[in-house]
Every structure is written in C-alpha cells, then in structure tokens.
Structure 1
C-alpha cells in the first residue's frame, strides 16, 4: 500500500482533526514501530506499521467509499433477506469496504440509491433538518384533477401527519395512467404510494431519478459507479459539513 502522512492516518482513525493530529505528534504522544515520532511529514503504512497514541494502538478506519447504484425492481434495500429475495448488494461490486444504503427504496421501486461507509454523511443526508431533495418519476393510475395535484403539492394527511409541500409536475399520460415528476424534501415510509392512495390515484411504478445533486445519468438497472470527488464535496456542502469534520480529505 502507498504510504500516507501520519497525521492523516490519525485523523482517519478518529484521534483528532488533521490539525489536532499534528499537535498530538508534536507532543511526542505517537509511536510508530517502537519509535517516538515528533516531526510532521512522516509517512506510514497504516496496515503494516504499528501505530500507538498514548500507548494505545489505533484502529484503522476503512477508506471511505461512495457508490451510486441503479437499484433494479424486485430486490430489497438490505444486506440479507429472510425470504431469500435478491438484495441491492447482489448488484454491488466488491468495494473493499462494508457499505450500507443511504435511505431505502421499496422492493418494487427502482432508481438511484447511494451506498457508503461514511456514517457521518449518511446520517445528515437522511436527517429532516437538511431537507435533501429526492426526485421521482411516478406512474399513477388514472388522470389526477388539478385539485388532486394541488393536494399532492400542498400536503396530504397521512398517519404521521401532513406531508411537507412537494413539487409535482405532469410529464406524460396514457389512456389509463399519468406520469408525474415528484420532488420530496422528506422520506416517510412508502410516502409516495400512500400519497397517491390518499388522493385516489394509486401508484403503479416509482423510479428515483435524483438524490440531491446526484442523477442516474446513463446507468442501467443493476449498474453502479463510484462518485467523483466533486460530487462528494457537493454532498458535504449540502449538509453543512466541512473538511475538518470529514477527517479524510487528501
């Protein structure tokens, strides 16, 4: 493995921020392979070198991975399924890290699903405070009236309460159904299906086409790609995380 700066390894292990790790090194509290290190710029192999801080061996954290998957229909958003159904991880290549999904999509829904091992980012992306948008293309039975569309836009009463305002646009129709683009700022369980039922237009299909600034692009069902560094930065800015909090920047 390519060696990396000691202060970065300490930051990734959660010892301190990058700047804080530099101070820990200056204080002579870090030992690498039995030798006290006090100079900055020393590079180590975190998987081969023995590194201790205050005589405690540090535990390495996996490199952060961000994978965008086009979830196909008829698979569950879990690692295992008691019923033996396919899971999203049947379509994910070995990323060298234990990933988990950010949010979920129903068994019969398809579209964009983000998987990562970055718990801090994942938690904020799902927290209602940040209102990260999720965009869906939905086929609904029948032809909603302007009044029904207004109800979807302004709020529908469900078990949890009134849904938050949503952006709803008609993008197509057939003799028996209507295609809608729906942008949500919240993520209640089966929310779109229940909204459709509440206004008398049951949902026939759901496809998530965007999650915040991320889009499916040219991916096909079952396909995946790693996020670009710029996309990860956009997500961090979206939920007000800076580089000090990331502790994993280059």
Structure 2
C-alpha cells in the first residue's frame, strides 16, 4: 500500500506538493470516486487513479539531465521577489522536471533534474557522495580539519544559514573526504566530499569557524560528473551513468521491500504477544 500523494508524485510530473493540492481541490479520482485526502492508501496495480481526467499509471521509464547552474539563480519554480530561477534558463521541455536537491542562489555547478519524482526522492534521500570545490576566506585550521574528520553537532548553526531559516541545531556527519588545494591567510581552496546535502550545510559548517565561503561549486554527484559542461547548459546522462543509476534504484527498491517486510513481521509478532498475554475472561 502507498499514500495517494506519493503514488501520484512517483508516477507523474506532479511534485508531492502539487499532488497534495490537486487531491485537496477534488481533481483526483480513485476507482471512479473523488478522493480529497492525500494520505488515502492505495495499492499499485489494483486501484485506478485519474488526475484531471488523465490516468496515472506506474512507469519504469524516466529521464535525468545534468544542468550546470550558474550563480544568481534560484532552484525553484518562481520567486516572489522576481529573482531569476533555473526555469528561466531551462528550455520549455524541462519545465516539469524536478530538481534533485538544491543549490543556493550564490552557489553553482552540477544540478540533476528528472521527470520522475520517485527518482528525485531516492537520490535526495541517499547517502551517495557529493563533491564540492569551495573557496573560503582565511586559512584551513586544525579545528576545521578535526571536525571534517570526526563530524560535529552544533546547538546553534544559524551562522551561514538564511536569515529566515528556522533551522538552528544541526548535526554534521564526518566528511567522506577532503583535500586542501591552497591554504593561505587571505583565502583557501578545498575539495570536499559529503554523503548528504542539508540546508546550506557547508556554509554553516565553515561559518562556525569564522570562515565565510565565497565560492561554492558542486562538481559531481555519485558517478555523475560536471566535466566540461558549459555554464547554463544541460546534457543527458551517459549510458554508463544511466546503468549506475538503474542499479542504485534497484538496490534501493530491494532494501525498501526488505524493510517493509521486517516491519510487518514485527507488527505481527507484537499482535501475537499481546493476544497471548491478554487475561482470560471470567465465566459468568
């Protein structure tokens, strides 16, 4: 069983938020009946789902593109302040593509987009390696290197975050790796590899040590590399990149199924235990 909003987001061009709105506005039918609750449980391959009169069916095909995002673009559909977004640059055929995570306004580099929300979700929630090239003000200190190796938890990680961000406490996992390419009193350049991409994680990390990031560029995501893709341009994944992605998605699906089966087994065992421990009713 799967939530209705998740089913639509996984098998259509609708994002989870767009699916929620369509459901709540009465545009979704399940087996002919209008459903207005995004949490409605359905069974793939059994229940028939329509959204605005068009059937939503499970699909295996998907497309992923690499976009070399320049500085000065937001990774969002629109901006209330009228700032430029990635969709102002991308051609119309990619307007419905979902970004895999975010790069903030001042950051640049590799951004993946896909026409399948399930693929975007799997990649965003993964611990696949992301590599960034960064330039910071000041030197790389021993304390920074120690935190990169061991990780750290901050009660207040607001420095380096957006002024309107509600995130304060943050846990930073140990970096997968790092390489100091230049270390000078005025500025330093590093390559760092992370297994996640939380809200302005790198900016918050270095801000804790009083070092502002002045340049941040993502150069790879797992086996997918930016290489010589020009700024503001897109490319499709290569055959080998698609093969690696397909293997990753297959492994993730197996892992999810195993986890669900274990949860069901655990619930079944609990029910049996409770039943056995239930006091016998007295005969009248």
TM-score after normalising by structure 1: 0.68
Q: 2:132 aligns with which of 131, 136, 139?
A: 136
Distance 1:79 1:13 in 2: 20
**Which residue of structure 2 aligns with residue 46 of structure 1?**
none
Q: Is the 8 A contact 1:13 1:59 kept in 2?
A: no
TM-score after normalising by structure 2: 0.60
Equivalent pairs, count: 192
Q: Which runs of 5+ in 2 are unaligned?
A: 1-9, 13-46, 155-167, 257-284
Residues 1:148 and 2:144 aligned together: yes
Distance 1:83 1:58 in 2: 34
Distance 2:209 2:153 in 1: 10
Q: Deviations over 1:218-246 (max 9, x none)?
A: 11210111112431221232342579x9x
Q: 2:238 aligns with which of 228, 231, 235?
A: 228
Q: Match of 1:95, SS?
A: helix
Q: Is the 8 A contact 2:87 2:95 kept in 1?
A: no
Give the alignment of 1:49-64 within 5 angstroms: 59=55, 64=62
**Which residue of structure 2 aligns with residue 164 of structure 1?**
173
Shift of residue 202, structure 1, vs aligned partner? 1.6
Distance 1:185 1:211 in 2: 10
Distance 2:227 2:219 in 1: 8
Q: 1:182 aligns with which of 184, 192, 217?
A: 192
Q: 2:93 aligns with which of 92, 95, 119?
A: 95
Shift of residue 89, structure 1, vs aligned partner? 1.3
RMSD over equivalenced CA pairs, Å: 2.9
Distance 1:144 1:96 in 2: 40
Change (3 A) 1:175 1:103: same
Distance 1:97 1:74 in 2: 19
Q: Match of 2:179, SS?
A: strand
Shift of residue 187, structure 1, vs aligned partner? 1.6
Q: Is the 8 A contact 1:151 1:199 kept in 2?
A: no
Q: Is the 8 A contact 1:236 1:242 kept in 2?
A: no
**Which residue of structure 2 aligns with residue 191 of structure 1?**
201
Give the alignment of 1:37-56 within 5 angstroms: none
Shift of residue 64, structure 1, vs aligned partner? 2.5
**Which residue of structure 2 aligns with residue 112 of structure 1?**
110
Q: Is the 8 A contact 2:11 2:116 kept in 1?
A: no
Q: Is the 8 A contact 2:11 2:118 kept in 1?
A: no
Distance 1:13 1:204 in 2: 39
Shift of residue 174, structure 1, vs aligned partner? 5.0
Q: Match of 1:237, SS?
A: helix
Distance 2:227 2:112 in 1: 14
Q: Match of 1:59, SS?
A: strand
Q: Deviations over 1:200-223 (max 9, x none)?
A: 212111000001111101112101
